A = this chain, B = another copy of it.
Amino acid sequence: MAEFVRLGIIGIGNQGSGYARHLTQDGWCPEIKLTAIADKNPARVEWAKNTLPEDVTCFDNAIDMLDSGLIDACVVSIPHYDHPKYVMECMKRGIHVMCEKPAGVYTKQVREMNEEAKKHPEVVFGMMFNQRTDCLYRKMRELVQSGKYGRIRRTNWIITNWFRSEAYYRSGGWRAPWAGEGGGVLFNQCPHNIDLFQWICGMPTAVTAIGGLGKYHDIEVEDDCTALFEYENGATGVFVTTTGEAPGTNRLEIIGDRGKLVNEGGKLTFTRNEIPADVFNKTTPNSFGRPEVWDIDIPVNGNGEQHNGIRKNFVNAILKGEKLIAPAEEGIKSVEMANAMLYSLMTGKRVELPLDAAMYEEHLKKLIANSRFVKKDEVKAGVDMGKSF
């Protein structure tokens, strides 16, 4: 068995160049040896040649890198639309692949990617859901999924600390037009949160959203969304996000029969009903009574290993068969939720899940066709690998 994995990176933009530096300069994850990068943007390739060690081969074309025999695994770190396309190119060559979030922009393309993945069970296919390593979210999931916490009754995530300035949106030409990212805060900033939400609480069965397109910024996509969730067991939920608010809030509250879990300000608290609410409700003779509670601060050990934790897990999955923290097939769930929220927000309709993938693709195509977006600056980072449609 190999002692290390030879890695390539497609796309040396903000994220990809950071990975390359961490792996070659900062000594992160010694089981990974960066052997190649590919980027269509000549300036980026030049940067890589000047900055990365000599034994990293630089390509101006991703397919050439995949065909070079220099890599066993690949990170796909390019604009969202092309994630599925290049992930599938990796799989077809038996190259293990780590996909940046989101899995794609619309479920139809992600479904195709997942179908391809089924044909290649030998390929390790991970998603960079680094926040799944965060100890607070892991603990919340453990408590909720254990069942000890009772049936979920209500969820509420206010995650509005994603403030982005106009300068941010002007800094990359692919940011925020329909043809570039295919969406705004739900597709760029929130995939982590949406994934965590479904990872901890499960998928909703219906979504109703309000918000705005370009409400706070000169962009054509959504920068504000507030959504109602309905769950199969009758529970309800709320998800609030925006890039237009400062200082913003990050507060996740989950109510079960057994009490209330709140994750806010880096702290996890559990207010535990000594008698579960549903039992107390039916048994107390007291009109105005309520269950006694314990206030519990749950100790957690920081934010976890984040990106490097996912990278280590990916390489251990390849070398040792370790179970993936974020199997990439699960990436479709957050894409579907984002699609549903955006569709509801734009049409004023309640959207039932699973979403009609063909309908959503049509919706998105129309948005692209009618786009009035004009690039104000040159693309400064990232690689445009050609649009999917």
Nearest neighbor of A230 in chain B, beta-carbon distance:
B210
Q: Which of B211, B230, B277 contacts A246 (CB 8 A)?
A: B277
Give bound CA distance, A247 to B261, whole Å. 11
> In the complex, which range does the number of interface residues on chain A fall in?
35 or more
- Number of this chain's copies in the assembly equals 2
Query: At the interface, yes or no: A289 with Cβ under 8 Å from chain B?
Result: yes
Check A291 for interface membership: any CB of B closer than 8 A.
Answer: yes
User: Which B residues lie within 8 Å of A246 (CB)?
Assistant: 259, 273, 277, 280, 290-291, 293
Given A212-B234, A247-B273, 7 more A-B residue pairs with CB atoms under 8 Å apart are: A163-B281, A165-B284, A226-B228, A245-B255, A246-B290, A247-B259, A348-B350
23 contacts between A and B (CB under 8 A): A153-B244, A154-B240, A156-B158, A156-B240, A163-B281, A164-B287, A165-B282, A165-B289, A166-B281, A168-B287, A210-B228, A210-B230, A210-B236, A211-B236, A226-B228, A226-B236, A228-B228, A238-B238, A247-B260, A247-B271, A247-B273, A247-B290, A249-B260
Chain A residues within 8 Å of B, Cβ to Cβ:
153-154, 156, 158, 160, 163-168, 171, 208, 210-212, 215-217, 224, 226, 228, 230, 234, 236-238, 240, 242, 244-249, 253, 255, 259-260, 271, 273, 277-278, 280-282, 284-291, 293, 348, 350
